[in-house]
Structure 1
Amino acid sequence: MNGRGAPRYSRIADELRQRIETGELAPGDRVPSTREITQQWGVAMATATKVLTELRHQGLVHAVPGVGTVVKDRSRPVRTGRPTAAARRDTPTTSAVSIQRKSAADQALTLERIVAAAVAVADAEGVAAVSMRRVAADLGVATMSLYRHVADKDDLLTQMMDAAFRQWSFPENPPEGWRDRLALAGRTLWEMFRRHPWLAPALSLTRPQAIAGALPFTEWVLTALDGCDLDLSTAFTVHLTLFNYVRGTAVNIEMEAEAEALSGLNNEEWMDTQEPALQAILATGPFPRLTLLTTAGYGLNLDDLFEFGLQRLLDGMAVLVEETARPAAARPDP
């Protein structure tokens, strides 16, 4: 075990290794993510990343898509001691075995496996933790072997976004009416961002990435507006408005997760720490409504905020649809 002079990441990794070897963390159990490590041990994100990297190098953990980093199911305990002289004579060298294993893994490598591993890392630790080296380590392959399937990290990110969108689909029998269909599209997108918190910040409205998996979402919204007498350009603007609303709200999901990991406080606990400063500001002027609200308390819930905003957005679109459908003679003068 590392002494007190060992790097902090190494000491944390040793602590987690002991929990694995004693069975406290059993095969298949999820180990703390980088965010949870920063919170529990009070270290920086870079240190937390080194902890999980060290555990992977020891063969103790691996990334599982949709779950995170979990304890490996090993048939034999990890050997930490040096092999005997007889063993060294009778078996290939560690480097030779490693090369043979990596070569076989490289040959079995596919784009789907690469993307799934990268998404698993991003889901558990944030997109900043995704690198070609990290993904290769999780897959047990040489880093350069990834470049046979993806051009670079930007290409990998595009593939990850495409894979995230392809996990979702719309029903063959859509609900009646454009409003219910747009509501379904908005909620589907929200659930997608909830499942993959890194996705909303990664997408761009002004410089949209070429993501084939996202096209059905756009087509669904445009089709839902058929029969509303909107020209195609206006219908597309409706689509962008809906997308931008959902994405803009969902950006807060990852930001809040990162803030909680770094501070160790959820949003309500953090707000409690800000109350003295807020009360001091309120005391400087006539803010009766804000003072009353602060006294009564307000529970911020992103899901509730999203649904409230979605309904108000659709209310506004209903006015547009109604105005467009109304005969020109019946419309008010501009």
Structure 2
Amino acid sequence: MNDSVPPFRRIAAELAARITAGELLPGDRVPSTRVVMREWGVALATAAKALDLLRQQGLVETHPGAGTVVRAPVHGPRRTPATAPTLTRARITAAAIKLADAEGLDAVTMRRLATDLGTGPMSLYRHLAGKDELVHLMMRRVFGSHPLPAPAPPGWRARLTAVSRIQWAIYRAHPWLPELVSITRPRLIPEAMAHTEWTLAALAGLGLGRAERVREAVTIPAFVRGVALSHAAELQASKDTGLSATEWWQAQEQEIMVHLESGRYPCLSTMDSSAVEDLDGLFEHGLTRHLDGLAARLRLAP
């Protein structure tokens, strides 16, 4: 298509082609304005104009609380229960995880899921009591999809490293999850309970008292979750502001320098933003230092 064509028209034409080709069927959600912004690298106004053009062309329609979906033709086949994939708890759970990963847990509603799955909201209630049960299934599915290694690696340190890295990978892949995990009021998620059992088993026989073992089994995952919460907050901030962490620091540079050059923060002035921008490195640093401390403690254990 000619470069002289406005970007919003090019985007609308590409989406229209997907609809015509059957890649997007009646009832399917079309990319949101944020997704269009990210995939095509355009501004919010351009993304909104592209979707508005599709509405004017009668290809899509917007439903409150459900987003913009492909409009069913006046004459032509519609998705029907007979042709749609069978609705199951597993399929609903998978769709909910996909939605939460893309847009956050707040986006997961029965109405929105029904739209994504091409069915009515009441159909979901034949399989689930409500969102609480769905969230429980989502957590079980996510933890269960990242199994602990079998056989376990030899040595307490290798085992604690393995379980911590698995938890970090889970949280990185599913940023909505850390907010749901609690050390004071834990949900009864068998697949997550297996992580605690694994950690306690790794600490057994090291000469630590029962209370100290329990504190270790709580402290290590609490550290992993804490860094993961920072990761989730950074993702949300990037979405809200449109700025990466590096871009945010650059935007704040002038104000930051006013404070650092005042002479009141001689140690802080030697820092740069790289340490806090690399959360993977921060996680590995914190885990290594904690395990180093535990190793030193074990050498002193009676």
Deviation at 1:227, TM superposition (A): 1.4
Aligned-pair identity in percent equals: 37
Higher relative contact order (CA 8 A, sep 6+): 1
Normalised to the residue count of structure 2, the TM-score between the two structures is: 0.78
Matched, 1:302 2:297: no
- The residue number in structure 2 matching 1:187 is 165
CA deviation profile, 1:145-165 (whole Å, cap 9, x unmatched)? 222222221221111111100
Q: Is the 8 A contact 1:35 1:258 kept in 2?
A: no
Change (3 A) 1:35 1:20: closer
- The residue number in structure 1 matching 2:115 is 137
Matched, 1:165 2:143: yes
Distance 1:24 1:238 in 2: 54
Matches within 5 A, 1:1-334: 17-22=12-17, 27=23, 35-37=34-36, 40-42=42-44, 53-55=66-68, 57-58=69-70, 79=73, 82-83=74-75, 101-102=80-81, 108-294=86-272, 298-299=274-275, 300-324=277-301, 326=302
The AA in structure 2 aligned to 1:315 is D
Gaps of 5+ in 2: 1-7, 46-50, 52-61
Gaps of 5+ in 1: 1-11, 60-77, 88-93, 327-334
Q: Is the 8 A contact 1:222 1:235 kept in 2?
A: yes
Deviation at 1:318, TM superposition (A): 1.9
Distance 1:50 1:41 in 2: 23
Deviation at 1:223, TM superposition (A): 1.2
Q: Is the 8 A contact 1:35 1:125 kept in 2?
A: no
Distance 2:240 2:105 in 1: 16
- The residue number in structure 2 matching 1:64 is none
The AA in structure 1 aligned to 2:223 is Y
Partner of 2:252, secondary structure, is: helix
Between stretches 271-280 and 30-39, larger displacement belongs to 30-39
Instruction: State the structure with more CA Rg.
Output: 1
Distance 2:255 2:92 in 1: 48
Partner of 1:148, secondary structure, is: coil
Deviation at 1:113, TM superposition (A): 0.9
CA deviation profile, 1:78-129 (whole Å, cap 9, x unmatched)? 74xx43xxx8xxxxxx8xx66xx247759x3211111101001011111111
Q: Is the 8 A contact 1:33 1:125 kept in 2?
A: no
Change (3 A) 1:136 1:24: closer
Change (3 A) 1:31 1:142: closer
Change (3 A) 1:223 1:265: same
Q: Is the 8 A contact 1:256 1:267 kept in 2?
A: yes
Distance 1:315 1:54 in 2: 50
Deviation at 1:216, TM superposition (A): 1.5
Partner of 1:288, secondary structure, is: coil
The AA in structure 1 aligned to 2:300 is E
Deviation at 1:31, TM superposition (A): 7.2
Deviation at 1:302, TM superposition (A): 0.6
Deviation at 1:321, TM superposition (A): 2.7
The AA in structure 2 aligned to 1:131 is T
Distance 1:54 1:157 in 2: 21
State how many pairs are aligned: 271
- The residue number in structure 1 matching 2:58 is none
Q: Is the 8 A contact 2:183 2:222 kept in 1?
A: yes
CA deviation profile, 1:256-289 (whole Å, cap 9, x unmatched)? 1111112111001100111111111223343223
Deviation at 1:51, TM superposition (A): 10
Deviation at 1:179, TM superposition (A): 0.8
Q: CA RMSD in A?
A: 3.3
Change (3 A) 1:276 1:261: same
Deviation at 1:171, TM superposition (A): 2.0
Q: Is the 8 A contact 1:38 1:261 kept in 2?
A: no
Normalised to the residue count of structure 1, the TM-score between the two structures is: 0.71
Deviation at 1:38, TM superposition (A): 6.8
The AA in structure 2 aligned to 1:250 is A
Deviation at 1:54, TM superposition (A): 4.4
The AA in structure 2 aligned to 1:18 is A
